[in-house]
Amino acid sequence: MERDEASTFAGRSLQVENARAPDRRYDCLDDAARLARRYLDGLRDRPVHAKTGLDELRAVLAHPLTDEGEDPSVIVESLACDVDPGLVASGGPRYFGFVIGGAVPAAVAADWLVSAWDQNGGGFVASPALSVVEEVAATWIRELLGVPASSGVGFVTGGQMANFTCLAAARHAVLRDAGWDVEAHGLHGAPRVRVLAGEYAHVTIGVACRLLGLGQLVDVVPADDQGRMRADALRDALAGGTGDPTIVCAQAGEINTGAFDPFVDIARICREHRAWLHVDGAFGLWAAASPRRRTLLAGAEQAHSWATDGHKWLNVPYDCGIAVVADPRAHRAAMTSTQAYVPAHADDVPYGFDWTPEFSRRARGVTVYAALRQLGRQGLTDLVDRCCDHARLIARRLAAEPGIDILNDVVLNQVLVRFGDDDALTDTVIEQVQRDGVCWLAGSTFRGRRVMRISVVGWQTTPADAHRSAEAILTAARAAGG
């Protein structure tokens, strides 16, 4: 193609856009709002599973890329239509797979505005307003999670990056205390950092260590039958320690059972060994919002860092994670990215890039701000308690049926179910429930046995949804001959 021919093509669709009456340029936003309403209003009644598979989706979505571009409203309409059969109703009231929350309305709407404003949330100079919104959200988060008011808070993409950010701060601090500046010199020639985590630590802890040059976890601390790190095993692992800089990763909310590590004992042991204590509480940390369940976190307040998710239990849309570090200097030293072309700023002026791995970034804290304003303190408490109560209700209904066993203590929002004490039967029931579409849940393997894994983290679930889902599971189990 000739050069001026190419530039004509590139210019044409923009010319078409610019030729529109200025007040019609964003009509596609009205289309998006209408289509989003239709989807969200239908969430409760559509089958929970996706209706279509890989090949069909590829065929439908592979529109030819045009030379001249397309009309925004046409794109929005066709995108919504094409993807609809491949969407999973994970924001609806009967989705219990993995740990995937819904999204409260104010957070969804605020997220749209974040896109419309298209601010670079990296720092105050680029977006004064959203930097302050995130600052306010950070203050609320510290208060709700019961961590020191001076803690650093970074809004990141999820639990993975929250763990990464916290462990980067940990790496900085334990090496600083050993006389080594890891930010300046990296790990070449550094003292060895010892990382310990429970046998049932989430996989993202290992990935974070890998990204931080600490290698996959070396020291696995045995867990008990609920997946809780055993404090006595941690004590043994650290006894006769080499004095290496040490980081201990504990967990609030084991991904299968929802169990909490014994933080009081773990914190004491870490103190004795001058180890950094990190708590991965991607969903479990939200127990702090519930007076009835807060005791599960006793001792966790003594940790040095905490990772949690916004997109799980707080019910903000994907993606949002939150990294909290008690020592803001270590947090900032590990993350900040000062550049000559960014104005120097006082410590108390909000700059997202001081607390997150990103430089340019979406102001993810805005959805947290909106969700917390919608819920209020009591609404958040109710959300957490309601999900836990629904989990117990489902567990109770299933446990009453002969041949069905609940394998975990349902202390939170997670239920592990086994059918006929049989792997194959358990998988058959899971597949049947998934196909059936009343609710959706996934399988897992816990302590060598196949289990159905139920996770209740959505704001929309009602007691009637819990009953209906339990009924669907019982029906599938009876059909499978359980």
Residues within the interface to ligand PLP (CB under 6 A): 99, 158-160, 202, 204, 251, 253, 255, 280, 282-283, 309, 321
* Closest distance to ligand PLP from the beta carbon of 160 (Å): 3
CB closer to ligand PLP, 314 vs 330: 314
Residues 371 and 106: beta-carbon distance below 8 Å? yes
Q: Is the dihedral of CA 75, 81, 86, 87 positive or negative?
A: positive
Helices 27-42, 105-117: inter-axial angle, 10-degree rounding: 160
CB closer to ligand PLP, 96 vs 283: 283
Q: Assign 259 to helix, strand or coil.
A: coil
Residues 250 and 261: beta-carbon distance below 8 Å? yes
* Closest distance to ligand PLP from the beta carbon of 111 (Å): 16
* Closest distance to ligand PLP from the beta carbon of 17 (Å): 36
Alpha helices, H only, 291-441: 328-335, 365-399, 423-436
Which residue has the closest beta carbon to ligand PLP? 159
* Closest distance to ligand PLP from the beta carbon of 7 (Å): 42
Half-sphere exposure of 444 (CA within 13 A, CB side): 20
* Closest distance to ligand PLP from the beta carbon of 206 (Å): 11
CB closer to ligand PLP, 153 vs 282: 282
Instruction: In whole angstroms, give the CA distance from residue 226 to residue 249.
Output: 17
Annotate 453-482 with b (16+ C-beta within 10 A) or e (fewer).
Answer: bbbbbbbbbeeebbeebbebbbebbeebeb
Instruction: In whole angstroms, give the CA distance from residue 313 to residue 101.
Output: 6
Q: Which of 332, 336, 314, 312 is nearest to 324 (CA)?
A: 332
Angle at 347 between CA 344 and CA 348, to 5 degrees: 115
Compute φ and ψ for 468, nearest 5 degrees: -60, -40
* Closest distance to ligand PLP from the beta carbon of 200 (Å): 9
Largest CA distance in the chain: 76
CB closer to ligand PLP, 138 vs 162: 162
* Closest distance to ligand PLP from the beta carbon of 83 (Å): 22
* Closest distance to ligand PLP from the beta carbon of 413 (Å): 11
**Tokens encoding 305:** 């860092």
Residues 406 and 395: beta-carbon distance below 8 Å? yes
CB closer to ligand PLP, 162 vs 173: 162
CB atoms within 10 A of CB 218: 13
CB closer to ligand PLP, 102 vs 245: 102
**Tokens encoding 366:** 């805005």
CB closer to ligand PLP, 253 vs 299: 253
* Closest distance to ligand PLP from the beta carbon of 320 (Å): 8
Residues 91 and 458: beta-carbon distance below 8 Å? yes
Amino acid at 289: A
CB closer to ligand PLP, 321 vs 365: 321
CB closer to ligand PLP, 255 vs 275: 255
CB closer to ligand PLP, 255 vs 380: 255
Segment holding 253, helix H or strand E:
none
Compute φ and ψ for 321, nearest 5 degrees: -125, 165
* Closest distance to ligand PLP from the beta carbon of 358 (Å): 15
CB closer to ligand PLP, 131 vs 315: 315
* Closest distance to ligand PLP from the beta carbon of 216 (Å): 16
Alpha helices, H only, 252-326: 263-272
